[in-house]
Amino acid sequence: MRGVCIVVFRQAKWSEPLIFEIGGDGRIGHIVPEPGEEVRRIVDGINIPEKIKRKKPPRLPRVSEVEVVRHYTRLTQMSYGVDNGPVPLGSCTMKYNPRIGFEAAYDPRITWLHPLQDEDTVQGLLKLLYLLQKWLANITGMDKCTLHPAAGAHGELTGMLVTRKYHDLRGQLNVKKEIIVPDSAHGTNPASASMAGFTVVEVPSGSDGNIDVEALKTVVSEKTAGLMITNPSTLGLFEENIAEIEELIHSVDGLLYYDGANLNGIMGYTRPGDMGFDIAHINIHKTFGSPHGGGGPGAGPVCVKDRVVNEDKSIRLGDLLPGYIVEYDEDNDKYYLLGPGKHSIGLLKAFFGNIGPLIWGFTYILMLGAKGLRLVTEQAVLNTNYFASKIRKVKGFSIPYGENRPRKHEVVVSAEKLYEETGVSALDVAKGLLDAGFYAPTIYFPLIVREALMTEFTESETLENIDKYVERLREISETAYTNPEEARKWPINTSVGRIDEVKANHPKTMAPTWRIYLEKTRK
């Protein structure tokens, strides 16, 4: 059925110049349409006030079309994505991105639509978005969704501003000042709470990986505006005390925010809405198969419970959502956009949402359906625990926090022992993985695990590759215990070797653009 073979990997290595260093005078890469004679005659010249006319053309390269294609093709050959092999970055859910999603998202009947087009002209698109809203509400167990936010963190900011507005409308803003986050939280959580004007209060995790409820009790107070957590946590563990936590927070009229980055671990088994969360964001680019594009774009829809906000019950949490919500008028069989309404927090970006990733995610859910999504979760959890079970047996690695508890979407492995005994760190391990043609796990996160290797294979990794990955980690461990110096030379099979980060960050040598580089090297 399967055979483990030795992995040999050499990444392409082109000494590819910068685009600025390619090409020559007079070359062009694209013919731009020009106005015809008649248009020129009628307009009779360009009249821009002298003061505001561009004096010097921008210093852009002059390259032919083929040079552009070759240049960027070579750059792609020195990059690595899910299409190349496993990218088990924990918390990032780097699953296979089904290509049918691209076909849908890049359909010219979508790509050429302007965001301010009349609703009557975009009924087809609105129908898909309407369904997506409904499906996401059902997946999360919430009542109302906005597809407006552009990413997970954008969704978090949305959620925190909704929380703020909720307390504002209840006249409690002068009291409700704090957002509680666990110490295992993703950096965007405290950053989003802080951008929304809240003070961040951290709670520790217990050795079983759950939030320490006793510690939580000491920080929950009248000042608590809300709590942000992800469940399963960034340790890949289901938060077992969620019922108690929910009660505690709601007892002081705080709102529960669900960071949906880890939804891949629970679909079909439980839902944030069932667990008592009031607000949740979803990372379409994690759970629902749209690609990460080297750092974006993504989409971060936010769903809320139909919670009453004010006394006469005329305002609901859903009324606070930002952006435009697709509604359906059954009588006229017509879809239309609503919002942002009177109580909405407004807009977080100029227009509807990130349609490309949203339609990709729509296609993903469409093809899998409820049952397929549960299969996704089951297989992701199986893969995680299979890897956890194997890596446990490799010298130098351990799985701290709730050691014997099953993991969900991911597992955080610690290389602390390896580091203490051999000096080979999580960073070195990561580089050793690159050398075998694998992407590394997320390292040094969550902050509460020493020498962390946060690993998430997702449901789309093959068993063969997980075996090879473990095999490579075993080799790395062996090298560490026999010849640790070797480990510090890794990687050697990638396009370049280890990077000089000090030079990159030093004020004297820092070069965030080509022009600054030229300035500094000329001196």
Ligand X SMILES: Cc1ncc(COP(=O)(O)O)c(C=O)c1O
- Residues 18-77 within binding reach of another protein (CB under 8 A): 18-20, 27-36, 38-40, 42-43, 46-49, 51-55, 57-63, 65, 68-69, 71-77
Burial class for 74, CB neighbours closer than 10 Å (0-12, 13-18, 19+): middle
**Interaction partner, residue 230 (ligand X, another protein, none; CB < 5-8 Å by kind):** ligand X
Q: Give 285 or 316: the residue with its C-beta nearer to another protein.
A: 285
Q: Give 91 or 458: the residue with its C-beta nearer to ligand X.
A: 91
Distance CA 279, CA 2 (A): 44
Q: Does 123 bind another protein (CB under 8 A)?
A: yes
Residue of the chain from 442, 455, 477, 479 that contacts another protein (CB under 8 A): 442
Q: Does 292 bind ligand X (CB under 6 A)?
A: no
Distance CA 3, CA 341 (A): 59
Q: Does 192 bind ligand X (CB under 6 A)?
A: no
10 Å Cβ neighbour count for 336? 16
Token pair listed for 72: 């960027």
Q: Give me the 67-106 binding string for ligand X, x by CB under 6 A, dash otherwise.
A: ------------------------x---------------
Token pair listed for 1: 């059925």
Whether the CB-CB separation of 433 and 453 falls below 8 Å is answered with no
Burial class for 48, CB neighbours closer than 10 Å (0-12, 13-18, 19+): exposed
Token pair listed for 337: 């956009």
Token pair listed for 45: 């010249």
Residue of the chain from 151, 228, 304, 470 that contacts ligand X (CB under 6 A): 151
- Residues 384-423 within binding reach of another protein (CB under 8 A): 385-386, 389-390, 405-406, 408
Q: Does 152 bind ligand X (CB under 6 A)?
A: yes
- Min dist CB 298 to ligand X, Å, is 5
- Min dist CB 381 to another protein, Å, is 5
Residue of the chain from 184, 233, 264, 354 that contacts another protein (CB under 8 A): 354
Q: Does 153 bind ligand X (CB under 6 A)?
A: yes
Q: Does 162 bind another protein (CB under 8 A)?
A: no
- Min dist CB 482 to another protein, Å, is 24
Strand partners, 179: 200, 226
- Min dist CB 186 to ligand X, Å, is 3
Residue of the chain from 88, 101, 298, 318 that contacts ligand X (CB under 6 A): 298
- CA terminus-to-terminus distance, the chain: 62
Peptide bond into 446 cis (omega under 30): yes
In the block, tokens 């055979």 appear at: 3
Whether the CB-CB separation of 313 and 389 falls below 8 Å is answered with no
Token pair listed for 323: 């952006």
Distance CA 304, CA 141 (A): 9
Token pair listed for 387: 């890897």
Residues found near ligand X in the complex (CB under 6 A): 91, 151-153, 186, 188, 230, 234, 259, 261, 283, 298, 300
